[in-house]
Structure 1
């Protein structure tokens, strides 16, 4: 089932989750165990992140350095297939511009279509220091809007090659939004117009980057509606559970930690930080639900322990 169909058929906000594939050489059992822990809370769909190749420099025995390029976390497609087969839950694999050619993207989408995966999240991806070389007969998507257009072309039966009697795909396409403005954007208005281009190109819904102040989200939604963006906008939440998150989350995700939350965490015993983060996330989620959001998307990555403390009381209230 498509993500938008899940939203349309439910009267209460849905709660979804985002996980990360295991590192190269790791077992899928641990991350499949995370999904199994979430099953009592009836997740409508699970997002699975994707990662392009990265550059690493390793020192050899003679003291010189060698440049290595590899994907640390392959397996997004296989993990989606395993989750859908084992748990009968829809998955949303992330499809990236960065690090992949349009030809590789088309092949990945064909595989997902064969597997019956109906949803994808189209994003540009982070700059990880590796720029994939492109041969003369290949091409790349520079921005998320280009990727959305490629997926919509396939939904209309148009592939990179001129194929006879090509079967169209039928993907529901999500894209990312930034309530606090993408760090490369000059301002929020400019950023939202780029987002509108993605919606006009065929994106079906938006899921936001994490935030800790709901006012950013409410303002973002208002400004999206003002420019004619009418698709569902799903807030993305992260549970702050370690003191170092006060530094790392703003640094890597360009999100602001509210003064009240930061002060409470900074003054707390380290063993008490998770409780503070859980209580903050519960308050955030309840306020968002009362405002009528279509769903809440939790970034949990590789553990369900903390998020269960947030969703369990909410699940009991709905039940």
Structure 2
């Protein structure tokens, strides 16, 4: 079975301790030679400057191809595009374009009066600036979507606006992704659909996040984690589950996997090793 290529998502640090954690995460995963890595953008644009600084540092210090996240929230069009141009000054040509989560305490997304009204408008503007644009998608259907078909129709609009590929929200069952991929193809979406995987470090937090974003939690997986937590085997189960999920996807023709690391690299590294990805350092020692 072929070895997939991979990419990793990081958080921008908000404290000195978090900066060390991000650095350790990059140092652990960079030897796996990811195609690219991304740095997220906080709700309401709260980490705009931190994201830009982290993007620049990861590229300079680790030689990684870095994508900055960019959203439509709480900024004018010019402010948003100025952030994008700041990425470019740091050597970044890749952007993950998202509508973005509204600030905490708000009732929902409200466009800035001088800002982009939707992710489609943002994608069009970034593509016109010459960026390579990736977007998000939801195999379990976005919580705000009118229907699963409407969700896929919106994804097609994003691809038609200039996005080169879509990265899914995390999911727990391979069939969820495979059915979604088939439905995207049937809708005329010919851009790659990349599965986003979350090695589960904290089951309580992961399940809470899953409920918030509409990801379906299989009953047998929930029961397995409850047992593993009692037996202090949660990490072993997390690696086994993510590795089996990834292996199944690769067997179904998936060529690239995107990992949500949460700046905790060990589980992601172990899953990659299980898939046959060997670090460049290890290879050089063998040579």
Instruction: Give the TM-score, by structure 1 length.
Output: 0.80
Structure 2 residue aligned with 1:14: 5
CA contact (8 A) 1:17 1:297 kept: yes
Post-superposition offset of 1:39: 2.2
Structure 2 residue aligned with 1:108: 83
Of residues 236, 239, 248, the one that matches 1:275 is 236
Structure 1 residue aligned with 2:268: 307
Structure 1 residue aligned with 2:173: 213
CA contact (8 A) 1:16 1:45 kept: yes
Between Structure 1 and Structure 2, how many residues are aligned?
275
SS of 1:21's equivalent?
A: coil
CA contact (8 A) 1:246 1:257 kept: no
The CA distance in 2 between the partners of 1:13 and 1:43, in whole Å, is 10
Instruction: Give the TM-score, by structure 2 length.
Output: 0.88
Larger Rg belongs to: 1
CA contact (8 A) 1:23 1:74 kept: no
The CA distance in 2 between the partners of 1:72 and 1:266, in whole Å, is 34
Post-superposition offset of 1:311: 1.1
Q: Does 1:290 align with 2:251?
A: yes
* CA distances 1:146-190 after superposition (whole Å, capped 9, x unpaired): 110111232xxxxxxxxxxxxxxx311000010000000121111
The CA distance in 1 between the partners of 2:64 and 2:269, in whole Å, is 18
Q: Does 1:202 align with 2:162?
A: yes
Of residues 225, 230, 243, the one that matches 1:265 is 225
The CA distance in 2 between the partners of 1:74 and 1:25, in whole Å, is 15
Q: Does 1:40 align with 2:15?
A: no
SS of 1:183's equivalent?
A: coil
SS of 2:86's equivalent?
A: helix
Structure 2 residue aligned with 1:238: 198
Unaligned ranges ≥5, structure 1: 1-10, 55-70, 155-169
The CA distance in 1 between the partners of 2:141 and 2:121, in whole Å, is 20
Q: Does 1:151 align with 2:126?
A: yes
CA contact (8 A) 2:3 2:276 kept: no
Q: Point out the structure with the larger helix share.
A: 2
The CA distance in 1 between the partners of 2:174 and 2:254, in whole Å, is 12
SS of 1:179's equivalent?
A: coil
Q: Which structure would you say has the larger RCO, counting Cα contacts within 8 Å and 6 or more residues apart?
A: 2
* CA distances 1:66-105 after superposition (whole Å, capped 9, x unpaired): xxxxx36741111111111111110111100112221111
Post-superposition offset of 1:113: 1.7
CA contact (8 A) 2:73 2:111 kept: no
The CA distance in 1 between the partners of 2:156 and 2:250, in whole Å, is 24
Post-superposition offset of 1:12: 4.5
Structure 2 residue aligned with 1:123: 98
* Runs of 4+ with deviation above 6 angstroms: none
Post-superposition offset of 1:223: 0.8
Post-superposition offset of 1:220: 0.8
Q: Aligned in 2, Cα 1:293/1:226: closer, same or farther, shift over 3 Å?
A: same
Q: Point out the structure with the larger strand share.
A: 1
SS of 1:278's equivalent?
A: helix
Structure 2 residue aligned with 1:192: 152
The CA distance in 2 between the partners of 1:132 and 1:195, in whole Å, is 20
SS of 1:301's equivalent?
A: coil
SS of 1:184's equivalent?
A: coil
